Amino acid sequence: MKLKNWQGSLAALFIVLLISGCGWLGQNSASKLPKPSSKSANLKSVHYYSLAETAIQNQNLGLAEKLLDKAITSDEKTIYLKQRQIEILSYLAQKDSTYQKKLTTLAHNYYKKGQYNAEILFDLARFYASQKSIEKADKYFREAIEMQPDMQKILIYYLFQMQNKPEADEKLLQQAEEQPWENAKFALILGELYFRIDEEKGIQILEKAHEKWDNEETFEKLIVFSSRLYPSQHIIQLIEDRLAADKAVSTSLQQYFIELNFREQNFAKIVQHKQLCYELDTQQILRYLFFAAVELGKHELAAETGEYIAQNKELEPEQQDSFYQYVAQQFFQLANYTKTAYYLNQIKEPLIIIYFFNEQMMMQATDVEILALLEELQKFDTNKTNFVLANIYATLEQKELSQKFLAQVDDDFIEKNKLFSVAALTYLINSENTEKAYQLFSQAGNINANEEIALYLRSQGKQDKAFKFMQKAQQDSLQAVSYIFLADYYEQEAKIDSALQALQTAASLYPADADILNYYGYFIANQEISRLYPKAEKLLQKAVELQPDSHYIWDSLAWLYVKQKRYSEAQKAFDKVQNATINSSEEAYHLGYFYWKTENLEKASYFLKMAINLNNETDYVKKSEELLLKILAKDEK
């Protein structure tokens, strides 16, 4: 949301004040009319003047200038006629250079004869300023202000100085402030100019202007400049107070109020002003209301607002899927499964719908709720919904239903939407159909099909089957995690050389993968392959450089030092471990063993008991129990 750009460039501000258009010329004042007298010449002058003013109103300035010539010929004593003539010539000269000579000739002639007023001097100054004749402009500006100072003239002169002199005379601003405050526009410009040199003084001027005129324009400008000086909460309060007083607030400022509250996370205030949001009725403001309601858990308001946006505002294509997902979430919270399914069906990308279901299940949605929603989704009976149903029923282990819906999905839909991997996993979950899964994974591109099958089987605890597919997958490059699986499997089978070979391959393919380097180094230490200790140290030191905050890697390095009996270095590495949250029996055992070796039995007992209590790695729990018994037996002696 953008507010009016009050702080434009100095040049633009100067031009606004310097050059007046036909609208300004048309501001006729009856009090300035020359009074008719019994002399026919004066009557003639008034007649020509009236015709000239009519021509000005009709924006026929060329005719107005000629009529004023005749009015002046009939009455050479009335200065106002000459003033009006110079005003028109000054404007015409900006558009047509042929008027410039007449303007300067007449103005200087009036000046020499003393037939002038401050307005004539000022028009002449403005003309010279527009022509970049700086010295002449400065002379006539000063004389005009000396003759008849007012806020407008002084501000124009100040801006002229800012544009054309090294430093403007700041005393001019003080002089302008002392003049009668008759025009809100000039008072606001005075506040802006003061703000450039003294922010607090500028705000004081703007506050005074607002107090005097108390309208939308003065309030908005006060807010724009105050927002640069005061915190957002102060600005919010100013606008809120004005709204509460039922005073006029511009639409742009109302929008700014909602936007500012959202930026400051004042979600309750946005909800409090929900009626204002609906009155503003822009997509962005309504989105602020929607997400504020979401944050506060006000699902009814969020659902109502989200549905209004979805039905009445044209969402950008890239916004649609995510927004429909949010709206569906609100209806799901209200147990309105019909509308939840409706908005899920509006989502084009099937994976986003699947993600929605997975998210609800992670957030502890019950099977009853999920099944109720799935039942509503079935009513749409499209390739998209059937594919989603197949995947979610597979996740819920309702394999027959999953297979039923998967059979209703056209192959070209899977191909068009690049859903090969998801479909392959669904086949694996339903029936462990590795042949169909291999076919689909192979179509996905840039995927090692055998590796993906192996990783799935491994996740199901089927290590032997997984290993067979991983062996096939080795013909191509594997992911880093797959090499770790191979090494782990070989270690369990006591095939240490094969494990080392797998890890060496992984380290050469992924030299900057801290997990690979850590596993490799720790494997060497744990297997006590002393000839490779120097290599393990290099691997683990590099892993530490890559992930200096990983207490797991520090633990591996410390364990290597323990194996080498380098206890001083082990202590430094273990300090990093102890500063973190220890959540594995393995790490706790390492610390217990280290302190046992360094004869700090109190700490050794502490960490061994921790390993037993964590109870998340059987081998290390058993080792901890055995070592703790040794310590207790020693204490008894």
- pLDDT tens by residue, 523-549: 999 999 999 999 999 999 999 999 999
pLDDT at 88: 92
Task: Say which range, 104-108, 292-296, 339-343, has the weakest mean pLDDT.
Answer: 104-108
In which band, very low, low, confident or very high, does the pLDDT at 436 lie, cut at 50, 70 and 90? very high
Q: Average pLDDT over the chain, rounded to whole?
A: 91
pLDDT at 12: 54
pLDDT at 479: 87
In which band, very low, low, confident or very high, does the pLDDT at 634 lie, cut at 50, 70 and 90? confident
pLDDT at 32: 52
pLDDT at 11: 53
In which band, very low, low, confident or very high, does the pLDDT at 28 lie, cut at 50, 70 and 90? very low
Q: Is the pLDDT score of 33 beyond 80?
A: no
Mean local confidence (pLDDT), 94-109: 91
Taking Cα atoms as reference points, which of 88, 85, 14 lies closest to residue 45? Answer: 85
Element (H, E) at 101: helix 100-113
Specify the long-range contacts of residues 59-62, CB closer than 8 Å, at least 24 apart. 59/22, 59/26, 61/22, 61/25, 61/88, 61/91, 61/92, 62/92
Mean local confidence (pLDDT), 383-403: 95
pLDDT at 249: 95
Task: Say which range, 78-92, 207-221, 279-293, has the weakest mean pLDDT.
Answer: 78-92
Helices (H), 334-408: 337-346, 350-362, 367-378, 383-395, 399-407
pLDDT at 342: 97
pLDDT at 29: 43
Mean local confidence (pLDDT), 303-307: 98
Q: Do the Cβ atoms of 340 and 332 come closer than 8 Å?
A: yes
Which phi and psi (to 5°) does residue 208 adopt?
Answer: -65, -40
In which band, very low, low, confident or very high, does the pLDDT at 189 lie, cut at 50, 70 and 90? very high
For residues 353 and 346, give the distance between their C-alpha atoms in angstroms, rounded to a whole number. Answer: 10
End-to-end CA distance of the chain: 79
Q: What whole-number percentage of the chain has pLDDT above 70?
A: 93
pLDDT at 5: 46
pLDDT at 26: 46
For residues 122 and 541, give the distance between their C-alpha atoms in angstroms, rounded to a whole number. Answer: 80
Taking Cα atoms as reference points, which of 158, 129, 147 lies closest to residue 20? Answer: 129
Q: Is the pLDDT score of 427 beyond 70?
A: yes
pLDDT at 268: 98
pLDDT at 91: 87
Q: What whole-number percentage of the chain has pLDDT above 90?
A: 79
Q: Is the pLDDT score of 22 beyond 80?
A: no
Provide the greatest CA pair distance for the chain: 139
pLDDT at 31: 41
More confident residue, 25 or 470: 470
Mean local confidence (pLDDT), 93-97: 87
0.85 surpassed by pTM: no
Q: Which single residue is written with the structure tokens 């200087």?
A: 108
Q: Is the pLDDT score of 156 beyond 60?
A: yes
pLDDT at 21: 39
Q: Is the pLDDT score of 10 beyond 60?
A: no
Task: State whether residue 112 is helix, strand or coil.
Answer: helix
Mean local confidence (pLDDT), 562-570: 96
In which band, very low, low, confident or very high, does the pLDDT at 472 lie, cut at 50, 70 and 90? confident
Q: Do the Cβ atoms of 610 and 588 come closer than 8 Å?
A: yes
For residues 289 and 302, give the distance between their C-alpha atoms in angstroms, rounded to a whole number. Answer: 8
Q: Is the pLDDT score of 636 beyond 60?
A: no
More confident residue, 249 or 7: 249
Q: Do the Cβ atoms of 490 and 502 come closer than 8 Å?
A: yes
